[in-house]
Amino acid sequence: MIRIISILVGAFFSLALLWSFGNGAASFIKEPPAATAEALFHQHPKHYSFSSDSAFGTFDKQQLQRGFKVYKEVCAACHALKQVAFRDLKAIGYNDDEVKAVAKGFQIPVYNPATGEVNTRDGLPTDHFPPVVYAGQGNPPDLSLITKARHGGAAYVASLLTGYAEQEGYKNEKGQELLKLFPDAKTPDGLYFNPYFANLNIAMPAPIASDDQVTYTDGTKATVDQMAQDVSAFLTWTAEPKLDKRKQTGWAVLGFLLFATTLAYMAYRNIWAGKKGH
């Protein structure tokens, strides 16, 4: 009796679930949701190829150093890297003296419990990048993990940095013009139109606005696109500084598992070869 009741209850809930799904699907077909400016004009990240992307890919240390230069000279005024210590920069090719010089260029807040005051001192290699006190509107995000926190990762960051556009006359891939379809979608004062941002309007003005905004010491031409890719690669490293080591370990583990599986199969065939059918 209990089994019959359980079957009936399960059947009831299954039918209720199917009815709810069918009713929702029918409603969606009859009255599809109205198109929004975000749905029609938000762009997916551009296709970028970074040296660390593939399973065998590794970081390009020269690119990481260029990216750090862009971060330091362009982004650091508004965005912190609180998860990164200055001494971590040795992993991308800086020596001890260079790391000390970088750290000294930052002021580290120090709280004095006796007076309640916050003073500052020069940074040390063991310090993390200090928080940024931003005087403008909004709260710029910390960039330590930004490529892990955004769909598209480094490609999203690079696309966003190079994606600022004039909203007037802007068309999507289907040729639809934004302000003709959505006159009320005009970017408010104080915001900037960027189709790669989720709601199309972002509070951050274009940080990389022109070529040669920074000077690369390795002779690389500092175009807007190059600087965007370099700082995106650097932020990939800040989010996953052990990526190269993880890939190396992963391949070693896969090799061991393949060897162990082959050995186990051969042992199985050897042990049971003459015993099948008994």
Read off the pLDDT of residues 55-93 as tens digits, 9 standing for 90 and up: 889 999 999 999 999 999 999 999 999 999 999 999 999
Residues 50 and 150 in one domain: yes
Q: Would you say residue 172 lies in a domain?
A: yes
Question: Using one digit for the tens of pLDDT, what is the confidence trace for 223-258?
Answer: 999 999 999 999 999 999 999 999 999 999 999 999
Residues 195 and 210 in one domain: yes
Pair 42, 198: CB distance under 8 Å:
yes
Cβ neighbors of 121 (< 8 A, separation 6 or more) are 107, 108, 110
Rounded to two decimals, the pTM is 0.83
pLDDT at 137: 67
Between CA 205 and CA 19 the distance in angstroms is: 49
Known binder of ligand: residue 78?
Answer: yes
Residue with tokens 């679930």: 17
Q: Would you say residue 173 lies in a domain?
A: yes
Residues 137 and 215 in one domain: yes
Average per-residue pLDDT in the chain? 90
Q: Would you say residue 26 lies in a domain?
A: no
Known binder of ligand: residue 47?
Answer: no
| Pair type for strands 117-122 and 107-112 | antiparallel
Residues 46, 236, 245, 98, CA torsion sign = positive
Q: 42: which DSSP letter? A: P
Element of type H or E holding 92: none
Total count of domains within the chain? 2
pLDDT at 202: 95
**Residue span of the structural domain in which 251 resides:** 243-273
- φ/ψ region of 192 (left if φ > 0, alpha if ψ in -120 to 50, else beta) reads beta
Residues 189 and 236 in one domain: yes
pLDDT at 270: 84
Residues 204 and 266 in one domain: no
Q: For residue 149, which of 250, 53, 240 has the smallest C-alpha distance?
A: 240
Known binder of ligand: residue 42?
Answer: no
Known binder of ligand: residue 75?
Answer: yes
